[in-house]
Amino acid sequence: MESPVTKIADLIRRTDSFLVSSHANPDGDAIGSTAALGHILAAMGKDFSLYNRSGLPAQFDWLTLPGPINSSLSGIETNWIFVLDCGTQHRVGEELYRVMGTRPIANVDHHLGNPMFGQFNWVDEGYPAVGAMIADLADELEIPLTGALAEAVYLGVVTDTGFFTFDNTSPEVLELAARLIRLGLNTGTVNAKIRNQWSVNRFRLWGESFPSIEMFFGGQVAVAHVTRAMMERTGTTAADCEEIVNFLRRLRGSRAAVILREEPDGAYKFSLRSSGADNVQIVAALFDGGGHRNAAGGTIRADIGLARKRLVEALGESLGLV
Ligand SMILES: [Mn+2]
């Protein structure tokens, strides 16, 4: 039987026009895999457009792109649509979601519980990042993993593995990183570009959020939140909240951490983190969310007190702490 990567490679060989997209509010893997696939299509002389509802966040403006990342679909004609790193089809944002029924979709993802929304689905939870899937695709198509393609692949894998600190840091992803380095990637330079992107406003936002930290079950579950008012006072956005939950996990004795972030409509987006066998994806699923065993999230509609309480109770239940 043909492997999914072979099928995707065949699809690319026999098709001329593509839209490459990923989830709104993109992280390093979303932007990295979008750019990496674009570089492959460019190397093959294909016609393609890149799309992200949120455009290119400023923190990634150092990345060498194969073309502009469009934040609107107007004027873009394409045949196949690649949707990368999206655990559900809604994550692309409303504009692209509306046209998804009218074009064939290639769904390339590594999230648990992906509903296989594409005409073609390459979904493999064994990959730590979609960036690593795109690297395998480059190998299949015999495109060398050098230069800007290597940087884009590396951006995806290094951010989704927490700089090779999460449980998804597999021998294969370290071997991929080793190959990229042998082929000329300078990890010190690229890591500095990826990491050193914080504004002083972000530090001020974190300072506002930290008093909301509470510990439950003898310190095993840590909770914090960010309100719209905190972001307004400090001139920050949702992107400035992203890493807080990973830092909460550093609390000695904690097994799970949760951060809640208020949305413009008053709902709270939550992110959950754990390590090893502690599965927070199950908890996210209780609230119609999704993600991975050790990193998951979703949305909860309740005031902040109740939202925190529900998540803490669900985590306590799931981790066997009650
Ligand atoms: Mn990813």
Residue 85 has pLDDT above 80, yes or no: yes
Residue 264 has pLDDT above 90, yes or no: yes
Distance (angstroms) between ligand 1 centre and the Cα of 217 equals 31
Question: What would the pLDDT profile of 15-54 be if each residue is shown by its tens digit?
Answer: 999 999 999 999 999 999 999 999 999 999 999 999 999 9
Instruction: List every span in the chain annotated with CATH 3.90.1640.10.
Output: 4-195
Query: What are the backbone dihedrals phi and psi of residue 220, each rounded to the nearest 5 degrees, phi first?
Result: -85, -20
Residue 139 has pLDDT above 80, yes or no: yes
Distance (angstroms) between ligand 1 centre and the Cα of 297 equals 13
Please identify, in words, the CATH class of the domain defined by 201-318.
alpha beta
Level-2 CATH architecture, domain 4-195: Alpha-Beta Complex (3.90)
Contact 256, 218 (CB under 8 A): no
Instruction: List every span in the chain annotated with CATH 3.10.310.30.
Output: 201-318
Place of tokens 């002389």: 45
Residue 101 has a pLDDT of 86
Distance (angstroms) between ligand 1 centre and the Cα of 52 equals 15
Distance (angstroms) between ligand 1 centre and the Cα of 294 equals 13
Distance (angstroms) between ligand 1 centre and the Cα of 168 equals 11
Mean pLDDT calculated for residue range 242-268: 95
